């Protein structure tokens, strides 16, 4: 096992060059760490697989692991590779009600056999799905929804609505965020290079602020937000929205102190900006406490975007927004596949699974157990500096003996976990955060297996 698998892209020449024309209160970052990501050109993939991928797929596709995984079958929380080896899935947050979920598959196939059309025909089940989703955020507001096929599309639409409503083009995002791959959403995706150039071309004004991960957490986040708002105002930029993943997942998971997001939203509202809650990762009961991530802070979003676990693998996503924003959607809205009958049937099946199997509670129970065991591991290992999480969203920071971010150590743990039959990955601005996202359906045995292997992997890597 070696740390040479770290793939570092010296990438931010443009980032540095252009940051003078944009407000950036956190632009010291000079390298972007792409951990556990390998391209077919870096000679770490099996030769025949390399040749085939190079010949037919874009070279921009990446692979996880130096010795990539070839999964062929999966059931519940377990993935089987081509050699028959089984791996516990502690990473894939799409199939959160389980690989091969019978209820979801039955809903999908039964509906496909019956009829699959689009939203231009009456469909009571579509309305019922909207009612079920909007009902997850009780309050005084009337909510409406639009169904899309991906989280990117949902965020893209949310950004356009915010621009139309406010007349602004200023967006505030954190400094290692991921919000999607359409033109607009990539222009605010600070975890990828090139976003500033793209935002320039699109006429957007982007302010990046430190995520609430690490020192001072939510407090420094509020300070950064205030500074960004002041800077935008002083430059005559009208704000459209702050768009944040409610758990700051790609930034490395920022959860504390509870309530800071509510304060941030008030600040946005006081300054004429909307709050777009990107719930693509934290939504659908992952927090183990509430259905939506922002609810852990009592925050009041104007637009909620969702995707990933919504269809348990069927490509579906949506935005929910305060009804007054409906008039600011340009012309009419039609999405060929978004909200089709199969998507609607799948959407109900996923919600049925979460509700009838008490998966919110299960996420809480299993997540607490994982967190407390990892917390104990931290006490006995100087190379683990922080363990944090909520339900089935868990982050572990890996550091050197001197306490510096240790991206190499993190990737070695990821590899060691794979050798032990568990799939996890890394994230965070320094790439030293272990990203652990168990499925909501974990049994006690799954949880114990994850904990045992994590303890063993960490001890082996740092022995």
Question: Nearest distance from residue 279's CB to ligand PLP, in Å?
Answer: 8
Question: Nearest distance from residue 116's CB to ligand PLP, in Å?
Answer: 20
Question: Nearest distance from residue 333's CB to ligand PLP, in Å?
Answer: 18
**Please, which residue, 159 or 239, has the CB nearer to ligand PLP?**
159
Interface with ligand PLP, residue 252, by CB under 6 A = no
Interface with ligand PLP, residue 245, by CB under 6 A = yes
Residues 204-223 as x/- pattern, contact with ligand PLP by CB under 6 A: --------------------
For 438, the 3-state DSSP assignment is coil
Among 151, 218, 301, 428, the residue binding ligand PLP under the rule CB under 6 A is: 151
CB distance 7 to 34 below 8 Å: yes
Binding span for ligand PLP by CB under 6 A among 66-74, 105-113, 145-153, 425-433: 145-153
Burial classification of residue 83, based on how many CB atoms lie within 10 Å of its CB (0-12 exposed, 13-18 middle, 19 or more buried): exposed
Size of the site for ligand PLP (CB under 6 A): 13
Instruction: Give 142's DSSP letter.
Output: -
Among 22, 66, 99, 179, the residue binding ligand PLP under the rule CB under 6 A is: 179
**Please, which residue, 104 or 399, has the CB nearer to ligand PLP?**
104
User: What residues form DSSP beta bridges with 209?
Assistant: 174
Interface with ligand PLP, residue 397, by CB under 6 A = no
Q: Token pair for residue 383?
A: 């190379």
Among 278, 300, 408, 446, the residue binding ligand PLP under the rule CB under 6 A is: 278
> For strand 274-278 and strand 393-398, is the pairing parallel, antiparallel, or unpaired?
unpaired
Phi-psi domain of 397 (left: phi exceeds 0; alpha: psi -120 through 50; beta: other): beta
Residues 316-355 that bind ligand PLP (CB under 6 A): 317
Among 65, 178, 291, 442, the residue binding ligand PLP under the rule CB under 6 A is: 178
Among 180, 218, 309, 428, the residue binding ligand PLP under the rule CB under 6 A is: 180
CB distance 9 to 31 below 8 Å: yes
User: What residues form DSSP beta bridges with 377?
Assistant: none
Question: Nearest distance from residue 25's CB to ligand PLP, in Å?
Answer: 22
CB distance 107 to 348 below 8 Å: yes
Interface with ligand PLP, residue 174, by CB under 6 A = no
CA 103/CA 353 separation, integer angstroms: 8
CB distance 243 to 173 below 8 Å: yes
Among 173, 280, 410, 413, the residue binding ligand PLP under the rule CB under 6 A is: 280
Task: State the virtual CA torsion across 450, 455, 458, 463 in degrees, nearest 10.
Answer: -150
Question: Nearest distance from residue 459's CB to ligand PLP, in Å?
Answer: 31
- CA angle (236 as vertex; 184, 265 as ends), nearest 5: 60
Interface with ligand PLP, residue 152, by CB under 6 A = yes
Q: Token pair for residue 296?
A: 């852990």
In the bound complex, which residue of the shown chain has the CB atom lying closest to ligand PLP? 151
- CA angle (184 as vertex; 178, 188 as ends), nearest 5: 40
Chain centre to alpha carbon of residue 420:
25
Among 210, 283, 307, 391, the residue binding ligand PLP under the rule CB under 6 A is: 307
Largest CA distance in the chain: 63
Binding span for ligand PLP by CB under 6 A among 98-106, 116-124, 150-158, 392-400: 150-158
Interface with ligand PLP, residue 175, by CB under 6 A = no
Question: Nearest distance from residue 182's CB to ligand PLP, in Å?
Answer: 8
Binding span for ligand PLP by CB under 6 A among 38-46, 134-142, 175-183, 346-354: 175-183
Interface with ligand PLP, residue 446, by CB under 6 A = no
CB distance 394 to 437 below 8 Å: yes
Interface with ligand PLP, residue 150, by CB under 6 A = yes
Q: Give how far Cα 161 sits from Cα of 133, 271, 322, 413, 439, Å.
A: 20, 17, 11, 42, 33
Binding span for ligand PLP by CB under 6 A among 18-26, 29-37, 58-66, 278-286: 278-286
CB distance 375 to 364 below 8 Å: no
Binding span for ligand PLP by CB under 6 A among 1-9, 113-121, 148-156, 358-366: 148-156
Q: What is the binding site for ligand PLP (CB under 6 A)?
A: 150-152, 155, 178-180, 245, 278, 280-281, 307, 317
């Amino acid at each position: 096992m070696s740390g040479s698998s770290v793939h570092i892209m010296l990438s931010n020449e443009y980032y540095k060059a252009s940051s003078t024309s944009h407000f950036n209160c956190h632009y010291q970052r000079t390298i972007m760490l792409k951990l556990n990501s390998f391209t077919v050109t870096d000679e770490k993939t099996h030769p025949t697989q390399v040749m085939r991928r190079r010949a037919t797929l874009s070279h921009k596709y990446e692979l996880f692991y130096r010795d990539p995984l070839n999964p062929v079958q999966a059931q519940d929380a377990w993935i089987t590779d081509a050699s028959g080896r089984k791996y516990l899935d502690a990473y894939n947050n799409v199939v959160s009600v389980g690989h091969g979920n019978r209820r979801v598959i039955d809903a999908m196939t039964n509906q496909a056999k019956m009829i699959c059309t689009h939203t231009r025909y009456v469909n009571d089940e579509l309305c019922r799905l909207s009612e079920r989703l909007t009902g997850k955020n009780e309050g005084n507001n009337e909510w409406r929804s639009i169904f899309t096929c991906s989280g990117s599309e949902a965020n893209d639409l949310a950004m356009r609505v915010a621009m139309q409503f406010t007349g602004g083009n200023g967006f505030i995002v954190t400094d290692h965020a991921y919000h999607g791959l359409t033109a607009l959403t990539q222009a605010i995706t600070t975890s990828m290079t090139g976003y500033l150039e793209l935002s320039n071309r699109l006429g957007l004004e982007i302010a990046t602020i430190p995520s609430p991960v690490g020192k001072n957490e939510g407090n420094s986040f509020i300070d950064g937000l205030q500074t960004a708002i002041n800077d935008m105002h002083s430059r005559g930029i009208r704000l459209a929205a702050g768009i944040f993943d409610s758990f700051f997942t790609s930034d490395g998971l920022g959860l504390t102190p509870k309530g800071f997001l509510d304060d941030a939203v008030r600040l946005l509202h006081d300054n004429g900006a909307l709050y777009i809650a990107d719930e693509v990762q934290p939504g659908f009961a992952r927090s183990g406490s509430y259905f939506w991530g922002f609810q852990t802070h009592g925050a009041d979003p104007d637009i909620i975007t969702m995707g990933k676990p919504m269809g348990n693998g069927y490509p579906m996503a949506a935005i929910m927004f305060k009804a007054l924003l409906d008039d600011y959607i340009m012309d009419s809205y039609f999405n060929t596949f978004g909200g089709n009958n199969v998507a609607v049937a799948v959407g109900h099946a996923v919600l049925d699974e979460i509700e009838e199997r008490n998966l919110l509670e299960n996420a809480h129970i299993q997540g607490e157990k994982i967190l407390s065991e990892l917390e104990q591991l931290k006490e006995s290992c100087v190379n683990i500096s922080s363990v944090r999480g909520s339900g089935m969203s868990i982050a572990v920071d890996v550091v050197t003996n001197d306490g510096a971010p240790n991206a190499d150590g993190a990737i070695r743990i990821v590899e060691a976990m794979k050798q032990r039959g568990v799939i996890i990955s890394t994230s965070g601005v320094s790439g030293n955060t272990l990203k652990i996202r168990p499925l909501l359906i974990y049994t006690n045995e799954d949880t114990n297996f994850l904990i045992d292997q994590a303890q063993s992997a960490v001890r082996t890597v740092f022995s």
